Structure 1
C-alpha cells in the first residue's frame, strides 16, 4: 500500500470516536463526550486526574486493536470533533442531582457503571438513566454512594438522628428538611450552620449530613482565602461544607449568599484576550463553628441554625464511622422514602419568607409527617434576627428611637437628618465615641438601613424611602400592632 492509499491517523481516530461516543455542547460552549449508552460525560479538553476523554480514546483504540497514535494525530482529531460538536444541540450536564422527565429527579450514586436513583412521584428506583435525559459530570469531589436499601420503615432516619447530637426535635426536623432539599436540583435551600458548645461534635455531625448526599469520601474543608478558589471548589461538587468558621468577612458573607441562591462568575478565558469563561453555580452549603461574630442581615435570611449538644457518652472515631458506614444504605433509603412522601404532599407556599421554596418544603413536610418544620424554620429565623440586632449597634439605636415613636405614626426625615438624630441618640449626653463602622454620611446610613430593613420589619419597625418635590426622605413607622403570622391566624 502506497503512502497515498494509507488512511491518515486523524481520520482513524475521528471515525472510531464518532462510532463509540456521542458528542454535544453545553450552553457555555463546552464540548462533552459521552460513551454510547453510558450517562457519564467528560469535557473533551479535560486533562483532569479523574480520567479525560483523551485517555478514554487512547485506551479504546489500544484495546480494540486499532493502534497507538501520537499526540499530533490525537490533537487534530479532537480539534475536528470539537468543531463538529459545536453544531450539535445544547444539553446540560449535572453534578450529583439532576431533573428528569415526567417530574422525576435523579441522584448520581457515583458508580463506574452509571447506576443512579430515579425519584418519581410514586416512589424511587435504581436505574441507569438514558444519556439523552441525564448527563452526569464527575470530578474528584464526586464520591460513591452505596445502593440504598428499600422498605426501611424509617429506620435510617432514626439511626442518623441517634448518631448526631442535635439538641432539640426542632433541630432534627430542620436537618431532615435540608437533606430533602439537597435532593432537589432547582430548589435553593438555606445553609445549615451547626453550632454548639466546644465538644458538641459539630464537625462530626456536619460530615454525617454531607456524607448522606456525597458518600463516605465527602468531607468538610476550610474556607478558601479568596473568592475565586471558593467558586472553583463549589463548581466541582454538589454540597459545599466549610468547617470551623470563626470570622465572617463581608466578602465571604456575600459569596456565601451567592452560593445559596445562585450567581454567575465571568472571567477571562486562559490564553485569550477577548474570550470569557462563564461559571454558573447554586449549591447546597453547610457551615460549622462556635461563633462567627456579626452576621449580616442578607446572610441571616439564608442560614439554618442547627444547635448540637455535648454527647453523654464518647465513642472512638473508628467505632462511630464503622457504624455509620454500615447504616448509610439504610439512611439513604429512608431519606428517599421520606422525600417521595413529602413531594406528594400538598401545602400552601408561605409568602412572607425570603426562601419561599424551602418554606414550602417545610410546609410539605408538616403535611406529610406533622413534624412542625415550618414553625421551627420561623423560630430559627427569629433567633437569627436577634443575633443580627445584637451584633449591629445601628439596628439597636434605630429600635431605641422607634420605641419613642407613637404607634401608627410615621416619622420622616432626610438621610442626613436621620444620621444626626441617631448619632446623637447613640452618643448620649456623655458624647461617647462612635464605634468603628458607624455611618459617616447620609448615603452610607441609607444603604445600611436597606440591609437592615427586613430584620427591623420582623421587630415591627417599618422603613421606607420616598421623594418630595425638594428632597428624598427616609420614613420610619411603628405600626400599632404586628400582623400575626399565618400559623397564628390558623390557631384562631
Structure 2
C-alpha cells in the first residue's frame, strides 16, 4: 500500500494545500489563501461566483493527478488549515489600489496573470507584485484594465476630454485631480457630482471616468434603497458610481458622507449570538443627476461639482465607445505619468478646506501643470454653498438677520430666544404660518445651526455655542475682517 493510501484524505489535501498555497489572516480574523507566487488572495470560506479557494483546491488536486475527494474530506482539511492560519502574521488585502514598500502604490489591472502597476516616486512599471507586499482581493466588480501605454506625452488626457462634454478647462482639471486621487489608497477624495441639462452626456462621462480605474466592465448603478445594500456594494469594489439621482434622503446623504471620508459598519455575524462582522470602508464615490433637491451642508463639503453641456454634434454609442476603448491604454498611461509628476511636486496644504488632502493634491497639480485646480475647487465649493442656502429657509433667514448685526459685533441668546427671533424675521410684519421643516424647539434649532456652520461661515456669519452659569447659549457674529471670497452676499 502506498504512503498516500495510508494517510487519511484530509491529510493528503492539507499537505497539498500547504505546499501550493500560502495562508494568512486579516485583522478581522478572515483567513485567505494565496497561490505561491501569485498576488490574488481568496477567503477560504468564500462561496462566491468569482471562484472560491475550495474550487481551486479541487481543480489543483485533480489536474496534478492526486485524486477527487469528497466534501467531508475537503471540509475537514480546510478546518485544520483555517485553525493553523490563525496563528500566522496579520496581512491586509486590498481591492484595486494598495500601498506598497518604499513609498510606492499599486494598481490592480484585474488580469488573471496578476500583473499590476507599481507607481513609485520616479515613475511607474508593470510588474507582478510580491505576495508579501500586496494581496489583491477580487470580486465580480473587479474588471480588467488594459496594459497602460508608455511614453504617451500626455495625449491620453486630450483624448479623454475630446470624448466628453465638460463645460470648461477648470472642470476638466478637477476631473483629472479626482482621477489622480483615486489612485491613492490613503487619500479621501470628494465625490464628483456630474450635473447639466438633459442630454449633456452625464452618464456617459461618468462611465468614462469610472472605467479608467475599473475597466470596461465598470458601470453606473442605481442608488440602493437601504444603507446595508449600499455598504455591500461599496465594499465589493473601489469606485462606487450612482446614476441619475433625483432625490437624496437624509440617510443616503449621511451614508455618502461616511463613504467619502471613511467609516466602519458592525453587524451580528451569521449563525452566531456573540460575534460580529466588521466592514471598514472608504471609497471614491461618483454621482450623476440633473437636480437632487436640497443638499445637506455636510455632504456639500464632500462634493466636487462637474458641469457638462449639450454637445453640438451627436455620435452613436457604438462609435463613441469604440473610440474610448481604443484610447483607454493611452488615457491610463497618461494618467499614470501625470500622477508621478504631481506626487513629486511640492505645495503647501490649504488649511481652510475640509477635504484638506484633496486640496493639497489640487495644489500639487497646479505646481506641476499650472492648471488652476485649487481655484476651481474653491469656486465649486462656493457654488455648492449657494445651493445649500437656496434650499434652506433657515440659512436664508439667518443671513437676513445677520445684515442687522454690525461688523465686529456678536449677538448671544439661548437657542429658544433665537428660535423666536428667527421666526419673527421669517414671518415679517404679516403673521403667517411657519413652513414645513422649520425648527420647532430650541434644541432642534441649535442642531440645525451646527450643521449650517461651514455654509454660514463661508458667507461671513460665524455661529458658536457655549455654556455659562445661566445655561447654554448660541452666539452669532459678523467678523470685522472677512476675506473677499467670503463676504456676505444674499
> Normalising by the residue count of structure 1, what TM-score does the alignment of the two structures yield?
0.98
CA distance in 2, matches of 1:3, 1:147: 47
**Aligned ranges 1:216-231 → 2 under 5 Å:** 216-231=216-231
**Aligned ranges 1:94-105 → 2 under 5 Å:** 94-105=94-105
CA distance in 2, matches of 1:329, 1:432: 62
- In the alignment, is residue 345 of structure 1 matched against residue 345 of structure 2? yes
Residue-by-residue CA offset, 1:368-416 (whole Å, 9 max, x unaligned)? 0000000000000000000000000000000000000111111000000
Secondary structure class of the residue paired with 2:126: strand
CA distance in 2, matches of 1:9, 1:25: 25
- In the alignment, which residue of structure 2 is the partner of 1:242? 242
- In the alignment, which residue of structure 2 is the partner of 1:80? 80
**Aligned ranges 1:199-214 → 2 under 5 Å:** 199-214=199-214
**Aligned ranges 1:408-427 → 2 under 5 Å:** 408-427=408-427
Residue 481 of structure 1 and its aligned partner are, at CA, apart by: 2.5
CA distance in 2, matches of 1:435, 1:405: 25
Residue 4 of structure 1 and its aligned partner are, at CA, apart by: 12
CA distance in 2, matches of 1:235, 1:425: 47
Secondary structure class of the residue paired with 1:110: coil
Residue 101 of structure 1 and its aligned partner are, at CA, apart by: 0.5
Structure 2, gaps ≥5 residues long: none
- In the alignment, is residue 189 of structure 1 matched against residue 204 of structure 2? no
Residue-by-residue CA offset, 1:92-119 (whole Å, 9 max, x unaligned)? 0000000000100000000000000000
Residue 276 of structure 1 and its aligned partner are, at CA, apart by: 0.3
- In the alignment, which residue of structure 1 is the partner of 2:474? 474
- In the alignment, which residue of structure 2 is the partner of 1:128? 128
- In the alignment, which residue of structure 2 is the partner of 1:180? 180
CA distance in 2, matches of 1:157, 1:248: 32
Residue 3 of structure 1 and its aligned partner are, at CA, apart by: 12
CA distance in 2, matches of 1:137, 1:3: 37
Residue-by-residue CA offset, 1:50-78 (whole Å, 9 max, x unaligned)? 01000010000000000000000000000
CA distance in 1, matches of 2:268, 2:211: 35
CA distance in 2, matches of 1:316, 1:431: 58
CA distance in 1, matches of 2:436, 2:79: 57
Secondary structure class of the residue paired with 2:350: coil
CA distance in 1, matches of 2:163, 2:3: 70
Distance of aligned partners of 1:277 and 1:406 in 2 relative to their CA distance in 1, 3 Å threshold: same
Secondary structure class of the residue paired with 2:430: coil
**Aligned ranges 1:25-424 → 2 under 5 Å:** 25-424=25-424
8 Å contact 2:415–2:442 — kept in the other structure? yes
CA distance in 1, matches of 2:4, 2:112: 42
Residue-by-residue CA offset, 1:269-312 (whole Å, 9 max, x unaligned)? 01111110000000000000000000000000000000000011
- In the alignment, which residue of structure 1 is the partner of 2:434? 434
CA distance in 2, matches of 1:9, 1:455: 67
Residue 484 of structure 1 and its aligned partner are, at CA, apart by: 5.4
Secondary structure class of the residue paired with 2:474: strand
CA distance in 2, matches of 1:462, 1:172: 33
Distance of aligned partners of 1:482 and 1:65 in 2 relative to their CA distance in 1, 3 Å threshold: same
CA distance in 2, matches of 1:413, 1:197: 44
Secondary structure class of the residue paired with 1:464: strand
Distance of aligned partners of 1:87 and 1:485 in 2 relative to their CA distance in 1, 3 Å threshold: farther
Secondary structure class of the residue paired with 1:429: coil
Structure 1, gaps ≥5 residues long: none
CA distance in 2, matches of 1:485, 1:435: 31
Secondary structure class of the residue paired with 2:103: coil
CA distance in 2, matches of 1:418, 1:199: 45
CA distance in 2, matches of 1:311, 1:256: 30
CA distance in 1, matches of 2:270, 2:201: 43
Secondary structure class of the residue paired with 2:267: strand
Residue 435 of structure 1 and its aligned partner are, at CA, apart by: 1.3
